[in-house]
Structure 1
């Protein structure tokens, strides 16, 4: 297995765990949520990217692994099974590896984001943030 795949999966690990804990199997159909933290949203995007590129059998296997991890959040083996599914997908799809590398922060980079004060917003990346009253957002 290439070192690049191992590194990508290690980088994605905390995001995957947070997304599975937050969404469970709904992670595959869930839209980005302003209420969810950035870690859960990034993990959701990683899992959705992998899921989209899998065939029916691969999707079923990934969903089963995610369900097991969601059902037993403290089970390291269940979390490892999700990572193993990601590794399998990366070995089979070089374009997926490039996509995940673009999604994940560079290896070793630590990001600290702090918001302080009423209606403050803190984000590394953001689509729309509204802190005012009576706002209307159209997409």
Structure 2
């Protein structure tokens, strides 16, 4: 298997599980939601790309893998099975490889070291919203 496919699957994995965590088993049927974070929406777009390009058996396998992850988003085996579905699809379809590569952010050009030090500090390579401090109340 090519290193490109391995890299794409490793990079896409967190997006896939975030999408299933946010949208549940209906991730393929639901429209993108502005209230859902960018990570989950990107995962939903990747899953849609894989689903659209597959035949009926591949779509059924992908849906089953999604439902397994939706039942327990902390199940490493279920997440691995979903990544395996992506890997198989990428291996068999060069156009899908390009589409997924175009969707994913460019990988870092070298090692990334992130350090947080001190009370309430945050360390993140990428982040959507981070709030620290006393008295913050989120709005529904």
TM-score (norm 1): 0.78
Figure out how many residues of one structure are paired with residues of the other and give that number.
Answer: 116
Give 2:50's aligned residue: 50
The SS at the match of 1:28 is: coil
> Is the 2:11–2:104 contact (alpha carbons within 8 Å) kept by the matching residues of 1?
yes
State the secondary structure of the residue aligned to 1:36: coil
Distance 1:113 1:30 in 2: 22
* 1:111 aligns with one of 126, 132, 139: 126
Structure 1 residues 49-98: Cα deviation after superposition (integer angstroms, max 9, x where no partner) = 00000000000000000100110211100000000000000011000000
Alignment of 1:74-89 (within 5 A): 74-89=74-89
Question: Are 2:37 and 2:128, in contact at CA under 8 Å, matched by a contact in 1?
Answer: no
Unpaired runs of at least 5, structure 1: 117-139
Structure 2: distance between partners of 1:115 and 1:43: 21
Q: Which residue of 2 aligns with 1:93?
A: 93
Moved segments of 4+, more than 2 Å: 108-116
Q: CA deviation at 1:22?
A: 1.0
1:2 and 1:49 map into 2 onto residues whose CA distance is 20
CA RMSD of aligned residues (A): 1.6
Structure 2 gap segments, 5+ residues each = 110-124, 132-140
